[in-house]
């Protein structure tokens, strides 16, 4: 299938044209970081207004770069949730209009499923089912058992902050910009991960849940102490990152001990983290488990992954979008976290 993907769940206005859920013909993303940076986080109202201003041009750009017309597409895939409601509305309304105008099927995609299918993009070796997905982004941290494209179960989740949120908040404590993940990643390369010991969350033996607020709080208290004031920011960043990575790898290890997986997939914005990638690869070598990590450009939010998920999952929300008018709220029934479809 040749699909146009649209992703506007947060602050990236993203469009892409993807063939067969694998070959990316175009991948367009207008990053809004400059508009949100001075507020230290994403401002939903600003994000919606930017999507409104940028999306039509982004759709035209993706089609032009791919060298295809709307008429040549097999369908339109759009993120239907979860995400910022104002941002989602812009993407879904635009996708509805395009599907209506072109008479193409409309695919409503769960954003988290998009992340899980990102490692299938532009790769020769695809993850084999069943696989375990470690999904770590700015809004979510989950372990997902993926038995098939439409057979997903969340088996572990964060009890407080998402991993990306912990990166962003800790970066703020260190006086780094937003988003903080890439800044900590860079700084940590010149730091000693063993310089300071921040606490690692350990759940009950039967749980795969995770928690990151303790690490973040202990960095805060440390930075307020005399030792913290004298510490090199590089060492603090590396030690914080090491603690967070330890927790994630420990949960992957526990999950893999419970069930037999053909491979482990790392996805979401935090999958771009170099220390986490290295640790997961090392774990894969140690346990003889294939690991799959998306190309860097498909780790953070993008529209190609939305088209990839729609291609694998099939099941269009509306085969003929012209039937839309009967149910104007149709697209918001796929906002749940990954669950097994009935
Ligand atoms: O998946 P994503 O683009 O958006 C959400 O769906 O949340 O993830 C964004 C998150 C941010 O918290 C950002 O700080 C984090 O991913 N991130 C990183 C890195 N690159 C992005 N965290 C750690 N290391 C990185 N290199
Ligand atoms: Zn995301």
Q: What is the CATH number of the domain that holds 107?
A: 3.30.420.40
Q: 110 and 69 share a domain?
A: yes
pLDDT digits (tens, 9 = 90+) for 139-175: 899 999 999 999 999 999 999 999 999 999 999 999 9
The answer to whether position 258 is within a domain reads yes
- The ligand placed nearest to the CA atom of residue 274 is 1
**29 φ, ψ to 5°?**
-145, 125
CA 301 to ligand 1 centroid distance, Å: 8
Structural domain of residue 321, as residue ranges? 2-116+299-326
- CB of 179 sitting under 6 A from ligand 1: yes
Q: What is the mean pLDDT of the chain?
A: 92
The Cα 104–Cα 73 span in angstroms is: 8
Atom from ligand 1 closest to the CA of residue 180: 14
- Helix 274-287, helix 233-258: angle, nearest 10: 30
**Mean pLDDT along residues 311-333:** 66
CA 195 to ligand 2 centroid distance, Å: 31
Q: 275 and 141 share a domain?
A: yes
**Mean pLDDT along residues 112-119:** 96
Q: 32 and 92 share a domain?
A: yes
Q: 87 and 106 share a domain?
A: yes
Q: What pLDDT is attached to residue 105?
A: 93
Q: 153 and 264 share a domain?
A: yes
The answer to whether position 337 is within a domain reads no
pLDDT digits (tens, 9 = 90+) for 175-227: 998 789 999 999 999 999 999 999 999 999 899 999 999 999 999 999 999 99
The Cα 65–Cα 208 span in angstroms is: 43
Nearest CA, atom 8, ligand 1: 269
Q: What pLDDT is attached to residue 179?
A: 83
Angle CA 247–253–255, to nearest 5: 105
**Mean pLDDT along residues 316-327:** 63
Q: What pLDDT is attached to residue 324?
A: 53
Number of separate domains in the chain: 2
Q: What is the DSSP string of 171-206?
A: HHHTT--SSHHHHHHHHHTTS-TTSS-PPPP---TT
Q: 91 and 7 share a domain?
A: yes
**5 φ, ψ to 5°?**
-105, 145
Q: 236 and 98 share a domain?
A: no
**Mean pLDDT along residues 249-259:** 97
- CB of 241 sitting under 6 A from ligand 1: no
CA 164 to ligand 1 centroid distance, Å: 5
Using a pLDDT cut of 70, give the percent of the chain over it.
Answer: 93
- The ligand placed nearest to the CA atom of residue 139 is 1
CA 63 to ligand 2 centroid distance, Å: 23
CA 294 to ligand 1 centroid distance, Å: 13
> What pTM was computed for the model?
0.91
Q: 90 and 181 share a domain?
A: no
């Amino acid at each position: 299938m040749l699909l146009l993907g649209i992703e506007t769940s947060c602050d990236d206005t993203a469009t892409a044209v993807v063939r067969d859920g694998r070959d990316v013909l175009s991948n367009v993303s207008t990053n809004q970081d400059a508009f949100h940076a001075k507020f230290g986080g994403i401002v939903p109202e600003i994000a919606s207004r930017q999507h409104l201003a940028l999306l039509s041009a982004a759709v035209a750009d993706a089609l032009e770069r791919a060298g295809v017309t709307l008429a040549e597409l097999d369908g339109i895939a759009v993120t239907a949730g979860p995400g910022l409601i104002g941002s989602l509305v812009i993407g879904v309304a635009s996708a509805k209009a395009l599907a209506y105008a072109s008479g193409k099927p409309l695919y409503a995609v769960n954003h988290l499923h998009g992340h899980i299918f990102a490692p299938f993009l532009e790769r020769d070796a695809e993850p084999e089912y069943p696989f375990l997905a470690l999904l770590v982004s700015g809004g979510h941290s989950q372990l997902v058992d993926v038995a098939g494209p439409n057979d997903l179960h969340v088996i572990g989740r964060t009890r407080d902050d998402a991993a990306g949120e912990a990166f962003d908040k800790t970066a703020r404590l260190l006086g780094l910009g937003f988003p903080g993940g890439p800044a900590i990643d860079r700084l940590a390369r010149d730091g000693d991960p063993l310089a300071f010991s921040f606490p690692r969350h350990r759940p009950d033996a039967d749980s795969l849940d995770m928690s990151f607020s303790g690490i973040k709080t202990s960095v805060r208290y440390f930075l307020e102490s005399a030792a913290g004031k004298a510490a090199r920011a590089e060492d603090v960043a590396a030690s914080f990152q090491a603690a967070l990575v330890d927790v994630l790898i420990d949960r992957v290890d526990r999950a893999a001990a419970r069930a037999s997986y053909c491979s482990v997939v790392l996805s979401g914005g935090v999958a771009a983290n170099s220390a986490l990638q290295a640790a997961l690869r090392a774990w894969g070598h140690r346990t003889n488990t294939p690991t799959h990590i998306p190309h860097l450009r498909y780790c953070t939010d993008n529209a190609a992954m939305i088209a990839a998920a729609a291609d694998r999952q099939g099941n269009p929300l509306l085969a003929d979008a012209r039937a839309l008018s009967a149910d104007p709220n149709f697209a918001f029934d796929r906002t749940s976290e990954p669950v097994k479809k009935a």
